[in-house]
A and B are shown apart, each in its own frame.
Chain A
Amino acid sequence: MKQSIQKRRLWLTVGALVLLVALFLGIWWRYAEKSTVGSKSIVITVTYADKTEESYKLKTDAEYLKEAAQAVLTLDGEDTQYGYTVYSINGAEANFNDGNAYWAIYVNGEYGNYGVDTQPVTDGDTYAFVYETY
């Protein structure tokens, strides 16, 4: 009897975990940033190690930042387990594998939560690649 109650409790806990996963998926589906389809006007800026800045205004149909950025910038990097990692922009390198610098992505001035190939592109937004050290 006691064992049966313990088993039931265990399966209830498994069910609760599955429900929690479903709830989290629902939240992600509802609130995660999504790209918009069609033409968008965006601004891409690059801030190099010496603080010089380049700015590009462009119209793009790209859904994600990597494709949009490649229209105006020369990106060099590689696909990693976390997505595409940028190592150099227009020949300027910031490679955390070979130093303590990296290309940070900002969206409308806020630190980006996505990689360059998963950052959705939205009309009117400003995307910044900034050379940062740690």
Chain B
Amino acid sequence: MRLCMRPISGGPLRQLIQMAVCTALIFGVQVAFSALPNIELVTLLFLLYTHWFGKRALLIVYAFVGLEILLYGAHLWAITYLYIWSLLWLVAFCFSLKQRSTIFWAIVGGGYGLLFGLLCTPVYFVTSGPQAAFAWWVAGIPFDIVHCCGNVLTILVLYQPLDQLYQKHFA
């Protein structure tokens, strides 16, 4: 099954409501899965949102980041969140311009999970220096590998059914 980015139908209000519901869903899912170490559905949902909403998905990204900061407080990780999820959006947006398979998105999500720690290191590089940033990244590699495997599995299992559900009932 090949998937490609499609414009959503309906007026601006309908789109706004859909995006608000999607923001609430991704935030709720993040909180619900927070007990599991690096097993999350946020990557899967952001890939789908980019597929569904295109450029507008970036609004959901920053609404989600804002809610996360409100819930957990503004710490160093909050600075990484300011660019790390928009980077995923950018990658997904660029690749969504062509038709891609579910396996392709699973690889994108897996790669993103694997590189998540490395992508966070610039903040630790600036605040604590290169050695501390490297040590921090190395210590988290097992978690990044779990993140990678989790993303691959969740995308392989859920990407297509969720996309079909959306296209059938909400697009």
Complex Cα distance, B114 from A20, in Å, reads 8
Chain A residues in 8 Å Cβ range of B111: 17, 20
Expressed in whole angstroms, the Cα–Cα distance for A38 and B106 within the complex equals: 45
Assess whether A32 is interfacial by the CB under 8 Å rule: yes
Is A110 among interface residues, defined by CB-CB distance under 8 A? yes
Residues of B near any A CB (own CB < 8 A): 35-37, 73, 75, 101, 103-104, 107, 110-111, 114, 128, 132, 134-136, 138-142, 144-145, 148
- State A114–B134 Cα separation when bound (angstroms): 13
Task: List residues of chain B with CB within 8 A of the CB of A33.
Answer: 135, 139
Asked if A56 is at the interface (CB within 8 A of a chain B CB), the reply is: no
Contact B104 A111, beta carbon cutoff 8 Å: no
Interchain CB contact under 8 A, B110 and A17: yes
| Closest CB in chain A relative to B80 CB, distance in Å | 16
| Sampled A-B contacts (27; CB under 8 Å) | A13-B104, A13-B107, A14-B103, A17-B110, A17-B111, A17-B114, A17-B148, A20-B114, A21-B114, A21-B145, A21-B148, A24-B145, A25-B145, A27-B138, A27-B141, A28-B138, A28-B141, A31-B135, A31-B138, A32-B139, A32-B141, A81-B36, A82-B37, A100-B73, A110-B128, A113-B135, A134-B75
